[in-house]
Amino acid sequence: MTSKCPICASESLSTIYSVAPDYITGSVFQVQKCSDCSTAFTTPRPSDVSPFYPEKYRRYNPIILNILKIFYNMRAAKWSRGFKSPGVVFEMGCGDGIMLNSLRMYGWQVFGNERILGAAHFARHQLNVPIFVGGLDALSPTPIADLIILFQVLEHLEDPLKTLKQLNPLLKPAGKLIIGVPNFGGWQAKFGGAKWLHLDVPRHLFHFSPQSLQYCLNESGFAITQVSYKSFEHDPYGWSQSILNLIFKKHNLLTRFLMQLENPHIAIIIHLVLATLIGILFLPISVLSWFFHSGAIIEVTAEKVKSME
């Protein structure tokens, strides 16, 4: 148990989930929430995260990878329309570089970073996307980017507030910061509870709601200008896998298969059929959740309001 909130240092904490299992190692964690800044977080925090990030984590099979490329191209097109002309984009935690590659096709100058060399290999050698390995300390704190992206990254960081404060001086005065995180306050999160697909402890060290995300951005010198809760790639599938987690003892079996952590067998076929049916049935609920600001994902666009020295 943690005695203070790692974001605002408040001692007004409550335990949301006393048992939150990790589907990769089987380790069990808890999720606590701060009543002051509304941030939830995983506890205890692993001293070594490497066992929880297998080599194939997020290394999806070619079919899923091509589907993701379609969705990422759609996001790249949408984000590009928010600018008069393409400029320089930096993506923190860019993974395989698919998002940056999509933005490059729209005329952006791109670069990104990753925490370890292996994670940057595909982007560097297959997509020729410029990536450096390491933290933000490697960058001079001067305005270098018109667009900064943290897509499904902020929740993984040890100190999100510190990171956002480091990103502030890197953004040009008229630039935009785009953040996508799982929505801990959404319908899917409340329905799935500790077995919600996107809870993903302990890789997700933090669990953001719209309120807690706004708190962090305000504290780091950003103002939110736009919020979206729509995600075709996260909502229907998130419902399917979360419901299967509630039914079956082995969690995220289909997700393990899609990440090539599980070999094909009869249970996979059963889960795939059930997931397809559930996804179709819950598509209307996914759409409704977007309109009621309760989708599985929060995507915010923010602008810098002051220089963080």
Instruction: Determine the pLDDT at residue 260.
Output: 81
- Cα separation, 262 vs 78, whole angstroms: 35
| Residue 84: pLDDT over 90 | yes
The total number of structural domains that make up the chain: 1
Share above pLDDT 90 across residues of the chain, in percent, rounded to a whole number: 81
- Cα separation, 45 vs 177, whole angstroms: 27
Query: Cβ contacts of residue 218 below 8 Å, gap of 6+?
Result: none
Q: What is the pTM of this model?
A: 0.93
The whole domain housing 210 covers 13-304
Q: Say if 94 falls within a structural domain.
A: yes
Mean pLDDT of all residues in 280-307: 94
CA-only gyration radius of the chain, Å: 19
Q: Say if 3 falls within a structural domain.
A: no
| Residue 57: pLDDT over 80 | no
Confidence band, pLDDT 50/70/90 cuts, at residue 308: very low
Instruction: Determine the pLDDT at residue 262.
Output: 85
Q: Say if 166 falls within a structural domain.
A: yes
Confidence band, pLDDT 50/70/90 cuts, at residue 306: low
- Taking only the tens place, the pLDDT of each residue in 251-291 is 999 999 988 888 889 999 999 999 999 999 999 999 999 99
Q: Say if 217 falls within a structural domain.
A: yes
- Taking only the tens place, the pLDDT of each residue in 173-182 is 999 999 999 9
Question: What ranges make up the beta strands (E) of 65-209?
Answer: 88-92, 109-114, 131-133, 145-151, 171-182, 206-207
Instruction: Determine the pLDDT at residue 309.
Output: 44
C-beta neighbour count of 282 within 10 angstroms: 22
Instruction: Determine the pLDDT at residue 7.
Output: 97
Nearest to 180, CA basis, from 146, 144, 145, 204: 204
The average confidence (pLDDT) of the chain is 93
Instruction: Determine the pLDDT at residue 244.
Output: 98
- Give the count of alpha carbons within 13 A of 297, CB side only: 22
- Taking only the tens place, the pLDDT of each residue in 119-175 is 777 788 888 899 999 999 999 999 999 999 999 999 999 999 999 999 999 999 999
- Taking only the tens place, the pLDDT of each residue in 14-38 is 999 999 999 999 999 999 999 999 9
Sheet holding 28-34, edge to edge: 13-21, 28-34, 40-43, 206-207
Q: Say if 5 falls within a structural domain.
A: no
- Taking only the tens place, the pLDDT of each residue in 32-47 is 999 999 999 999 999 9
Q: Say if 172 falls within a structural domain.
A: yes
Q: Say if 6 falls within a structural domain.
A: no
Q: What is the CATH number of the domain that holds 140?
A: 3.40.50.150
Three-state secondary structure call for residue 228: strand
Nearest to 241, CA basis, from 233, 249, 232, 251: 251
Instruction: Determine the pLDDT at residue 199.
Output: 98
Q: Say if 70 falls within a structural domain.
A: yes
Structure tokens at 181: 């995180």
- Taking only the tens place, the pLDDT of each residue in 219-255 is 999 999 999 999 998 999 999 999 999 999 999 999 9
- Taking only the tens place, the pLDDT of each residue in 171-215 is 999 999 999 999 999 999 999 999 999 999 999 999 999 999 999
| Residue 113: pLDDT over 50 | yes
- Give the count of alpha carbons within 13 A of 141, CB side only: 11
Q: Tell me how many degrees the CA angle 294-240-185 measures, rounded to the nearest 5.
A: 20
